[in-house]
Amino acid sequence: MATFVKFGRRATATSYAPTMSQRSYFRDDPDPDNDRLEREIFAARTINTLGEIRKQSKSSVSGLIAPWGAGKSTALQMIVDGLEQHNSSPWTVVDLNPWLYSDVDALQLGFFVALREALPREQRWSRKRERVGNFFTAISPMGKVNGLAGVDASSALESLGEKIAGDVSANALKKKAEEALEELEKPILFVMDDLDRLTPEELLMVFKLVRLVGRLPNIYYLLSYDEKTLLDLIQQTSIASGNRARARDYMEKIIQVRFDVPDLRPRQKANLVDSAINELLATYSIELSKIDSETFGSLYRNCLRHYLTTPRAINRYFAQVDAFYDSLNDEVNFINFALITFIRTFEPGAYKNLTGAWRDELLGEAIELHFSRTKESVSDKEKRWHEMLADAHVARTNIPGIYKVLLSLFPRLHPDGGSFSARQRLTESQGVGNRDYFDRYFNFGVPDDDVSDVSLQRYINQLEEASEATSLNIIREALLNDTQRTCRKMRQLLAGKPSASTALLPVLADAYAVADHELFSVDGSALLHVEQLASLAITEVEPDKVAETVNAVNGRAFGAIMLSSALSTLTNTETPLQPDLISCIARILEERVDALTRHPLAEVSSHDFRHVYHWRITAGKDVADPRLRQALLDGRWSALDFAARCVGVAVSGRAESLSELHFDVLDEVIGLNYFYAELETLMSEDIPLPRMHHYADTIENRRIMALGQLKQRRDRDRATPEG
């Protein structure tokens, strides 16, 4: 279901098929039929004012003024439609686009042709049209006349010849043209839009035409433009020579009446944003959480509203969200995607750095910062980031807001990595600050080396419904190739899936067998990730499936150890366990250890001996230790090799080295004095000092480490009086 929001307030929800929004976000044409900004009221007032101007002046130049994207063209279209349909005081409106003409001569001729075409067609006007035409040709450049549509070239050249011969002066022709135009019943309004998109030279060309040529009776002008841009253009010309005041003075000489399109009021902007985001929520069937709704509302007030100031800016922004979210629906957090899209749309310099120089710190992977000798204060960190944003060309006034957006998206950017609750929410979310999802936001889809959440959910659902080999194999490949990320995702998906959990446990044992144990990796230990997922899975297994599932997992080389490790992570929690689970795991461990006692320990691998440790933990020392003691006493296992097998292993990735001897195990099983006595002869020899994290894991090196540490412990015990 989609949740309609209004900056944190919930409203009625409606569902739609997931598809691209039907809103015309990409449309930049005038849209007078969709008036949500009271432009029709403004247009009506403008029409009335033009009527008053018409009564008081034979000709005038008005300006329709608003920033780019504020809806000038829509307001202009409403004005034009209203003028043409005005019953009491009708107008003839001529749309003259300066972009269509390459130079001032062509524009002048285009203006004349448009005016001539706007004159009445009745027979009584034929002579008057000719008078107007004669004036045009008298002042038009000769070389341009022949190619101008709607002008009789022969008549034009004939009139021009008469002018040169001195038969009729240009002033006389102008006076006759003015007399003809004064008889117009419907005045002519020339509308020129987008003057702010011309070059400085083209703009002066238009103004020259309006000022020097166009001031004829019943001829009016409505010029549409962004004032700031027009002043910038005029400043670049010789008229202003870089002086802003002179540029404004020049404009005031041209424009007699200003029609300023009203800026959007805060509530109007908010309504447009509300409408757009709610439509997207409905389109993609998104139910927005309270936290997400409040987050977007807060960041809108603190940052986004300073950018989303015009209808075009709002449409441009949500067009970007709409265009690229479809391929990520249900794969990322919608509000996070909308905020990343905001940065991409309005601050491309900062956006580029998100995947570049800033990535590691944003995701909490900048190891050098964690181990820095000097602790960075909150104010120093904020100052450093403000400078980084400035270097990314973010305007100084916008830097605090953009920094707040980044803090919201990337909790690890906060001092000390953010609050525990924020970090916890991050690990359980599809947010951009979660390293498992970060790349999706910038790839506009799920990367090839990632596993789709939607697909993973589908595979798990298929396993829940039936043992589906294809789905199981796909999950197996994901676990083997991208262990940590796949485990983290599956922890969110396996809850309440007993059949899927049962099917996946043997696969987890396969992943456990090859998983690295790198404690200092920013991505965490793959081995521990598998253990954590296995601990969740075993709690989901149905009671009547426990024994069967444990036996199936035990068929894998690392299955029993994985189950025991997973069980250990649950012992200190309040997670309810199936009654037979512990006994079943203890049983398979006992079976494995029993098989080991039939072989000399020199022939037992370090991996296999780990079953001894896990049996002691799972079944209890009171159950396991007597059996182990007996294996030593009856000679099946030697004291030296038992001690050697009790030497610990330090693991870093796939690198292993021998470390401390577990004296507690030796003491609890049979007592240290047993080993001192059994190994007295060997310990009396010259034994090399044990070197921690130096020796590779071989039985010979284990014996060296065991003897050396036992001798040191014995000598220390003898040197320390009892009591």
Question: What's the pLDDT band for 303 if we cut at 50, 70, 90?
Answer: very high
CA distances from 6 to 121, 287, 329, 538, 597 (A): 56, 13, 21, 43, 70
What stretch of H or E contains 104?
Answer: helix 104-118
pLDDT in tens, 543-552: 999 999 999 9
Band of residue 25 on the pLDDT scale cut at 50, 70, 90: low
What's the sign of the alpha-carbon dihedral 470, 472, 477, 478? positive
Output the pLDDT for position 164.
Answer: 45
- Report residue 575 as tokens: 């997670």
The DSSP string of 105-132 is HHHHHHHHHHHHHHS--SGGGHHHHHHH
The mean pLDDT of the chain is 85
pLDDT in tens, 182-235: 888 889 999 998 888 888 988 888 888 887 666 789 999 999 999 999 999 999
What is the tens place of the pLDDT at every residue in 384-434?
999 999 999 999 999 999 999 999 999 989 876 666 666 667 777 899 999
**pLDDT of 150:** 44
CA-to-CA dists, residue 71 to 67, 263, 606, angstroms: 8, 10, 76
> CA–CA separation, 483 vs 269, rounded Å?
46
DSSP helix/strand/coil, 359: helix
In angstroms, what is the C-alpha Rg of the chain? 42
Which range, of 227-231, 547-551, 561-565, 719-723, averages the lowest pLDDT? Answer: 719-723
Q: How far apart are CA 436 and CA 430, in angstroms?
A: 8
Residues whose CB falls within 8 Å of the CB of residue 312, separated by 6 or more in sequence, listed in order: 28, 68, 69, 70, 71
Q: What is the pLDDT of residues 638-690, one digit of tens each?
A: 999 999 999 998 876 567 889 999 999 999 999 999 999 999 999 988 877 78
State how far the alpha carbon of 80 is from the alpha carbons of 47, 180, 193, 367, 475, in Å. Answer: 9, 25, 12, 64, 63
Let me know: does 65 contact 182? Beta carbons within 8 Å.
no
Q: Which residue has the higher pLDDT, 259 or 418?
A: 259
Give the pLDDT score at 583.
Answer: 94
CA-closest candidate to residue 28, choices 194, 230, 268, 192: 194
Question: Among 197, 189, 188, 186, which residue's Cα sits nearest to residue 72?
Answer: 197
How would you list the strands of the sheet with 92-95, edge to edge?
92-95, 188-192, 219-225, 59-65, 257-260
| CA 1 to chain centroid | 22
Distance CA 313, CA 197 (A): 17
> Does 506 have pLDDT greater than 90?
yes
Report the residue count for the chain: 723
pLDDT at 15: 35
Spatial distance between the Cα atoms of 376 and 354, rounded to a whole number of angstroms: 21
Most confidently predicted of 34-43, 85-94, 101-110, 333-342: 333-342
